[in-house]
Structure 1
């Protein structure tokens, strides 16, 4: 299972991203001003990773073991999932979904901001 260091490395390799620590110590990754992923290591060492998903991914994974609708975000009608362990979603799938979340967040930026960040149209 990904640890915090691997999560941060994977997110840092996506174009136009930056990291902030907020909301009580969560590692929050943004593309431009848009959040696309959050990670937090729990006291028991478990890694919770939260990310934006498409409607299809939401339907596939929302009731999967080790995955849940993201606290706070999903209750507001947003399609965000949180992986709490790798029992139902392996790391390879998670990494692909983090890239998808980055793309979806970037798609919500203006054309000008996307260009400033080096994102292709």
Structure 2
């Protein structure tokens, strides 16, 4: 998985914003709700994002993917070995993370983001 491509994909989603939290983390959000977190620097070693409840155990059973620190209870995973996942699969998972978070926004906010 290429972290630069992952960041570019996160930036491309409708209504996606990014900001720095906790001093060194780049956080991607929609409607002020996080859907992905990685390190600020380009040489980030991993990325965290939300997954479907039924995929959480499947993904965290794979080498290189662990429950995300502090966010595992909300079904977030952390890709600690970027080689453990292809760009295509990472793209699908990041898109799904965005969709899961977007779906929890108010209908009014969803309409505003969709324009």
TM-score norm. by structure 1 comes to 0.85
1:50 aligned residue:
48
Alignment root-mean-square deviation, CA: 1.7
CA deviation vs aligned residue, 1:45-85 (integer Å, no higher than 9, x gap) = 452100000122112111211100001111xx210000011
Question: Which whole-Å CA distance do the structure 2 matches of 1:20 and 1:14 have between them?
Answer: 15
- Structure 1: gaps spanning 5 or more residues: none
- Structure 2: gaps spanning 5 or more residues: none
Q: 1:83 pairs with 63, 79, 88, which one?
A: 79
TM-score norm. by structure 2 comes to 0.89
Question: Which whole-Å CA distance do the structure 2 matches of 1:98 and 1:78 have between them?
Answer: 15
Displacement over 6 Å in runs of 4+ = none
More helix by share: 2
Taking the TM superposition and a 5 Å limit, the aligned residue runs for 1:20-31 are 20-31=19-30
